[in-house]
Amino acid sequence: MDAVLEARGITKLFPGTVALDAVDLVLARGEVHALLGENGAGKSTLIKCLTGAYARDGGTVLLDGRPVAPRSTADAQALGIGTVYQEVNLLANLTVAENLMLGREPRRLGLTNRRSACREAARMLADYDLDIDVTRPLDAYSVAVQQIVAIARAVSLSDKVLILDEPTASLDAAEVERLFGIVRRLRDRGLAIVFISHFLDQVYAISDRLTVLRNGRNVGGGPVTEVDRLALINMMLGHDLAQAESGHRTRAPGNGPPAAQFHDFGRRGRVEPFDLTVRKGEIVGLAGLLGSGRTEMAEVIFGIDGHDSGTAEVSGTARRLDSPRAAIRAGMGFCPEDRKTDGIVADLGVRENMMLALQARRGWTRPVARREQDRMVADYIRRLDVRTPHVEKPVGELSGGNQQKVILARWLLMNPGFLILDEPTRGIDVGAHAEIIRVIEELCDRGMSLLVISSELDELATYSDRVIVMRDRRQVAELAGAEVSTGAIVSAIAAAPQQRTAP
Amino acid sequence: MSARLLPFAVTCAIFVLAYGLAWLQFPAILSTRVIGNLLTDNAYLGIVAVGMTVVILSGGIDLSVGAVIAFSGVFIGVMLRDTGLHPYAVFLLLLAITTLFGLAMGAVIHLLEMPPFIVTLAGMFMARGAAYVLSIDSIPIRHPAIEAIQSAYWLMPGKGRLTLIAGLMLLTVAAVTLLIHRSPFGTRVMAVGGDARTARLLGVDVGRTTVAVYGLSGFCAGLAGVVFAVYTSAGYSLATVGTELDAIAAVVIGGTLLTGGSGFVPGTLIGVLIMGLIQTYIVFDGTLSSWWTKIVIGMLLFGFVALQKGLVQLRTGDRAARRRAARQSGRHRATA
């Protein structure tokens, strides 16, 4: 194999963790190489080590057979490794030509020779069948066009390796096809292209070979034709279908009245319209790979992203859920995926964090009496077993599991009828893990309805009455009762598009 | 028309409209004499506002310029009084000092990653303080060479006088316009003002650009100081208090986005002229308090900030979704 880039044994340590543990990545000339892995698998870290954004702690990188150690992205660019990120890294306030020629403007008498700069820029874009007015500002064009401009700039500077980090995340189907046409053409010109995406259909459509990472290690790879969808997902998730099925929660399936009903609910570009009914006292699990639309679905339901189609009914009455305030008023609660940025207020104490939502609903003119607060907070600290030395301890100093419990308590104080939990057990130690799950089951026994998003499929299979499987921002399968098992979920995620189970 | 030049067009339209209204009331206002005076009276403000434009385009702010102008006047007065140096030598020395002062502030802003607001606020106190240390009293500035500059003018058709200092201001506007809108350096300034992080990824030397921008502003403030000293024939440490705010107002009225990365240098000149026109109108009217200038400028500023907000929202409406996606992937990346 004619290797352009050969990274061997790349190791990167962060305080307390090994982000990359002797990872190998070999790119051949003229191939599209997919780099796959779930959140935290180490893809980004590996890319950053290759592009010089991070200094690696171990391993060698050979570019055309010569060892290299780029110290900055500019360095890597000069060596021939270019990167295009999902958030287009160009300047929206400059013109297309200025973006393309920045740093190498043709000059005349010390000033920019604009005519020749524009000519040069237009010539560069002509290679990509892009005939646009290069004197207009970049933000006059769609993300797809900006993406192509970014690729044109990267390729013109670096002609060996092109890294595309989730290039298709904000493109529609036709734009993706156009991008793929360009990627294939660049591949045929001999570039090695690294393609990072959560969309497996796209990975199979464009890639020649793939490398899968999990927890900072290589877990597999090879030519795409030899790795089928199921094997790939098992590699990414680290589940083995042969693994013993964990016991499903034996409980009468919720036959109560619907707590929340959504018809044709959705938002363009975020999540395709879906129908969802959650009954009283029911736990509905939401499964899917990262980027499949799980979080987007929850955010649309909770009004964070206003929906643009469909209707919602909460406890029997039609509601307009166009803001989190409206959702809260309707008796809903949402524990977000990223506790640190969207959940806790790190500098406030346990008591203040717990009281936030309740106080917000009452308004500042009706403060909750301090004695009342102390009673409620003490009650939930006991019921959820929050480990904190005292109630005024800043939440940022608690462990992840205890932070999660504080956020749970915040919503439970509101006594919501319908609670959405996004990755409630991520980043939590094993002990707290079990407790959160116990709380989830207890809540639902008390008649609360829950929508739980989780990547921990075993866990999801254990407590869910029904599991909805998402892929490519749409609902692709629904498993109920005895069908709910880790294996069934993995198979549904992995099912090729044509075998889609009707939603 | 591109959305970028729309604020400039609005500024020009407002200027023409205001001038037209004033002309209906006082036909004498439309003469080259008035225009000549308008340019001369606001020459120092025009020069310092052009420097401020560059700083704001780069995403920064320079609060020190008013104090630097006052320092310049006192410095010129003291040097001419106490040393035998020729005024031109003093001017060059002063420009070197103020440029170095600007470069130093730029270096602090870049190297210590300090907000420009605080650094140039400190610079403001230092420059004002230095002016006091040199002299508390107003110092007369008299020298044959300076008198020659004061009386140098080109007689425009209609007996209007385009003075040398007004010409110097127009020259500065033209030179900086070329520098910002036609040179590679200007593209870098716009890049840094648009998004410094991305600019760095695209290979722009953000540090050098930042330092150069504040150096340029320091130079412009020194030049404005020279012009102000020539214009008033005096150096006084209490002069031009708040001029930095007038300059910022002129920049914003001239259509430059206060957040950086978007604007047009000649717009600042129109902004200065609008402010000057209001003052001229008040002089013509004779009964209005001159503080009306401030009120009208305040209203204009509000109007322009609202206009820019509207334009920015028009332009970025469809980008909101993209930013959201970026935020999410950034979040994912952070956990990876």
pLDDT per position as a tens digit, B33-48: 999 999 999 999 999 9
Q: How close, in Å, is residue B189 to chain A by CA atoms?
A: 11
Predicted local confidence at residue A305, as pLDDT? 80
The backbone torsions φ and ψ at residue A322, rounded to the nearest 5 degrees and listed phi first, read -110, 5
The mean per-residue pLDDT over the stretch B301-312 comes to 76
**What is the percentage of chain B residues whose pLDDT exceeds 70?**
91
Check whether residue A165 and residue A310 sit in a common domain.
no
CATH of residue A39 = 3.40.50.300
* Other C-beta atoms lying within 10 Å of the C-beta of residue A446: 9
Q: What is the pLDDT of residue A1?
A: 64
Backbone angles phi, psi at A211, to 5 degrees: -130, 130
Give yes or no for a contact between A248 and A72, defined as CB atoms under 8 angstroms apart.
no
- Chain A residues with CB under 8 Å of a chain B CB are 39-45, 73-74, 77, 86-87, 89-94, 98-99, 102-103, 105, 107, 110-112, 114, 136-137, 139, 143, 153, 166, 169-170, 269-270, 290, 295, 305, 338, 341, 427
- Residues A79 and A91 both lie in one domain: yes
What single-letter amino acid sits at A39?
Answer: N
- Residue A440's pLDDT is 83
| Inside any domain, residue A336 | no
Are A365 and A503 in a shared domain? no
Q: What residues of A are in contact with residue B201 (Cβ under 8 Å)?
A: 73, 89
Domain end marker among A387, A415, A443:
A415
Best probe of the A interface among B204, B322, B323, B327, by most A CBs < 10 A, is B322
pLDDT at A39: 65
pLDDT at A254: 54
Taking CB atoms and an 8 Å cutoff, what residues of chain B touch A166? 329
Dump pLDDT digits (tens) for A243-301: 434 445 555 555 678 888 888 888 887 888 888 888 888 889 998 887 788 888 888 88
How far off is chain A from B96, nearest CA to CA, in Å?
23
pLDDT (0 to 100) of residue A369:
87
**Are the Cβ atoms of B184 and A112 closer than 8 angstroms?**
yes
Distance between terminal CA atoms of chain B? Answer: 44
Are residues A361 and A259 part of one domain? no
Contact with chain A for residue B33, Cβ under 8 A: no
Q: How many domains does chain A have?
A: 3
Count of Cβ atoms closer than 10 Å to residue A355 Cβ: 22
pLDDT band at B334 (very low <50, low <70, confident <90, very high): very low
Tell me which chain A residues have a C-beta less than 8 angstroms from the C-beta of B322.
Answer: 87, 143, 170
Nearest to B326 among A87, A93, A110 (CB): A87
CA max distance for chain A = 83
Of A87, A98, A270, the CB nearest to B329: A87
Residue A309 makes CB contacts below 8 A (sequence gap 6+) with: A264, A265, A266, A267, A268, A273
Domain match, A309 and A364 both = no
Give residue B322's pLDDT.
45
How much is the pLDDT for A497?
Answer: 60
Alpha helices in chain B (DSSP H): 6-25, 32-41, 43-57, 65-82, 87-111, 116-134, 144-150, 164-182, 184-194, 196-201, 206-232, 243-253, 265-285, 292-316, 320-335
Distance from the Cα of B319 to chain A's closest Cα (Å) equals 9
Beta carbons of A98 and B201 less than 8 Å apart: no
Nearest to A103 among B202, B261, B324 (CB): B202
* A229 and A258 fall within a common domain: no
Q: Do A213 and A250 belong together in one domain?
A: no
Whole-number Å distance between alpha carbons of B311 and A402? 45
Q: At CB < 8 A and 24+ separation, what contacts does A229-232 make?
A: A229/A200, A229/A204, A229/A494, A229/A495, A229/A496, A230/A490, A230/A491, A230/A494, A232/A36, A232/A200, A232/A494
- CA A157-A163-A168 angle, to 5 degrees, is 115
pLDDT by 10-residue block (mean), chain A, 503 residues: 87 80 91 84 86 88 90 85 81 90 86 90 88 88 87 88 85 84 91 88 90 87 87 75 47 70 85 87 86 85 85 84 86 83 83 86 83 89 82 82 86 87 75 77 84 84 87 85 82 66 40
Whether residue B324 and residue A305 make contact (CB cut-off 8 A), yes or no, is: yes
| Residue A449 resides in a domain | yes
Segment B117-133 mean pLDDT: 96
Q: In this complex, which of A43, A73, A139 lies closest to B336 when CB atoms are compared? A: A43
Same domain? A376 vs A503? no
Backbone angles phi, psi at A22, to 5 degrees: 50, 60
Tell me: do A99 and A230 sit in the same domain.
yes
- How far apart are the C-alpha atoms of A469 and A448, rounded to whole Å? 22
**Could you give phi then psi for residue B86, rounded to 5 degrees?**
-75, 145
Contact status, residue A91 vs residue A138, Cβ threshold 8 Å: yes
Q: Is A256 found in the same domain as A184?
A: no
A459 C-beta neighbours (distance < 10 Å), count? 21
**Residues A173, A65 share a domain:** yes
| CB contacts, 8 Å: B336 with chain A | 39-45
- Looking at the structure, tell me whether residues A111 and A8 fall in a common domain: yes
Within-domain flag for A359: yes
Per-residue pLDDT, A293: 84
Q: What is the pLDDT of residue A503?
A: 39
Partners of residue B174 in chain A, C-beta under 8 Å: none
B68 SS3 class: helix
Q: Cα–Cα distance between B323 and B336 in angstroms, integer?
A: 20
The answer to whether the Cβ–Cβ distance between B187 and A305 falls below 8 Å is no
Query: Which of A91, A107, A114 minimises the CB distance to B199?
Result: A91
Average pLDDT, chain B: 88
CA distance A305 to chain B (A): 10
3-state secondary structure of A273: strand
How high is the mean pLDDT of chain A?
Answer: 84
pLDDT, mean of residues B280-305: 82
ipTM of model over 0.85? no
**For the packed helices B32-41 and B265-285, what is the interaxial angle rounded to 10 degrees?**
110
Q: How confident is the model at residue B232 (pLDDT cuts 50, 70, 90)?
A: very high
State residue B325's pLDDT score. 45
* Chain A CB within 8 Å of residue B159 CB: no
Alpha-carbon span B73 to B177, nearest angstrom: 27
CB neighbours of A311 closer than 8 A, spacing ≥ 6?
Answer: A262, A263, A264, A265, A318
The residue type found at A114 is: R
Mutate to test the interface with B, among A93, A139, A296 (most CBs of B within 10 A): A93
Q: Is residue A308 part of a domain?
A: yes
- Confidence band of B183 (pLDDT split at 50, 70, 90): very high
**Which of A184, A219, A237 marks a domain boundary?**
A237
Q: What is the pLDDT of residue B315?
A: 59
Containing A12, the helix (H) or strand (E) segment is strand A3-14
Write out the residue range of the structural domain in which residue A159 sits. Answer: 3-237
Which tens digit of pLDDT belongs to each residue from B49-102? 999 999 999 999 999 999 999 999 999 999 999 998 999 999 999 999 999 999
- CA distances to A70, A105, A127, A165 from A115, rounded to whole Å, are 34, 11, 19, 33
Show Cβ contacts of residue A174 under 8 Å, excluding neighbours closer than 6 positions. Answer: none
B6-335 in CATH: which number?
Answer: 1.10.3470
Domain end residue (candidates: A211, A237, A263)? A237
Contact B64, B124 (CB under 8 A): yes
